[in-house]
A and B are shown apart, each in its own frame.
Chain A
Amino acid sequence: MTNGIIRQNFVIPADDFTAAGEASSSVKKMLIQLGVDPQKVKKTAISMYEAEINAVIHANGGIASVEIDRNKIFIRIEDHGPGIPDVELAMKEGYTTAPDAIREMGFGAGMGLPNMKRYADLLEIKTEVGKGTTVEITVYLS
């Protein structure tokens, strides 16, 4: 990889499960093309996909911005949804606020945030009830 920074933004459409995962999928392909270690590609892909799906399920979509440099992959997923009242509770495996229809699709098992924490090297969640949530995922390359 060169010394440059690659930046790309993606719109995560609202309530569109057909398109959910497009951004993560594009980033995954980009990382493979850049020759990033497969394990790091997987960490990035899974954590970003979880964040992307959360934005679709809970927040009418959002914006994903991705920055890749030689040291790290940085992903910010920003939404203007309802926010998370209790982040500590939301981080607990099995805790979910997803509606039944979403759970019937196999989502909403309360694993999204725990998976992000598991696969990201650094996870930051900034949230305000009624305003929205920003999730920042960092995966280190070196």
Chain B
Amino acid sequence: MKVSEFAEKLNLEILTEGNGSSKDIKGMYICDLLSWAMSHAQKGDAWVTVHTHVNIIAVAVMADISCIVIPEGIEVEEATLKKAAQEGIAVLGTKKTAYEIACEAGKLL
């Protein structure tokens, strides 16, 4: 499923103005330890993390993550969104918790 379609179905806000939203989402991974996420997430996963600093984009690039989902209405730094746009990684925001996101994603993916 494309990132744009996933965002629409889960009612997630695309914070990166369409950059990277045509990528395919194949699964989901939830983790806030960056090394762990980079090592264990699968190619094409949507990654849910509470971190919003610019390095999450590098981690997503290294691990071939399809998009990043920031839960619970956490505000994302402008530098992170700029970097995300450069690297073609969509960042999606929502007020939902990681658990709620995963429950809904589980029905779709």
Interface residues of A (CB under 8 A from B): 17-18, 20-22, 24-25, 28, 38, 42, 45-46, 49-50, 53, 105-107, 109, 111-112, 115, 118-119
B32 within 8 Å of A by Cβ?
yes
* Cross-interface CB contact of B62 among A24, A38, A105, A109, cutoff 8 Å: A24
Q: Which of B54-89 contact A (CB under 8 A)?
A: 54-59, 61-64, 79, 83, 87
Given A17-B54, A18-B54, 17 additional A-B pairs, CB 8 A: A21-B55, A21-B59, A21-B61, A22-B58, A28-B61, A28-B62, A38-B43, A42-B64, A46-B63, A49-B38, A53-B55, A105-B53, A107-B55, A109-B36, A111-B39, A115-B35, A115-B39
Chain B residues contacting A105 (CB-CB under 8 Å) are: 34, 51, 53, 55
B22 within 8 Å of A by Cβ?
no
Could you write out 9 A-B pairs with CB less than 8 Å apart? A18-B83, A21-B57, A21-B62, A25-B61, A46-B62, A105-B34, A106-B34, A115-B35, A115-B38
| Among A24, A38, A106, A115: residue with most chain B CB under 10 A | A106
Chain B residues contacting A28 (CB-CB under 8 Å) are: 61-62
A25-B59 Cα distance, complex, nearest whole Å:
9
Instruction: For the complex formed, measure the closest distance between the CB of A117 and the CB atoms of chain B, giving whole angstroms.
Output: 11
Chain A residues contacting B55 (CB-CB under 8 Å) are: 17, 20-21, 53, 105-107
Nearest A residue to B64 by beta-carbon distance?
A42
Nearest B residue to A39 by beta-carbon distance?
B43
| B62→A106 contact, CB < 8 A | no
| A112→B62 contact, CB < 8 A | no
Task: Tell me whether A21 and B36 are in contact in the complex, defined as CB-CB below 8 angstroms, given that A46-B63, A105-B53 are known contacts.
Answer: no
A106-B57 Cα distance, complex, nearest whole Å:
13
Nearest A residue to B83 by beta-carbon distance?
A18
Instruction: For the complex formed, measure the closest distance between the CB of B56 and the CB atoms of chain A, giving whole angstroms.
Output: 8
B103 within 8 Å of A by Cβ?
no
A49-B54 Cα distance, complex, nearest whole Å:
14
Nearest B residue to A48 by beta-carbon distance?
B62
Instruction: For the complex formed, measure the closest distance between the CB of B89 and the CB atoms of chain A, giving whole angstroms.
Output: 11
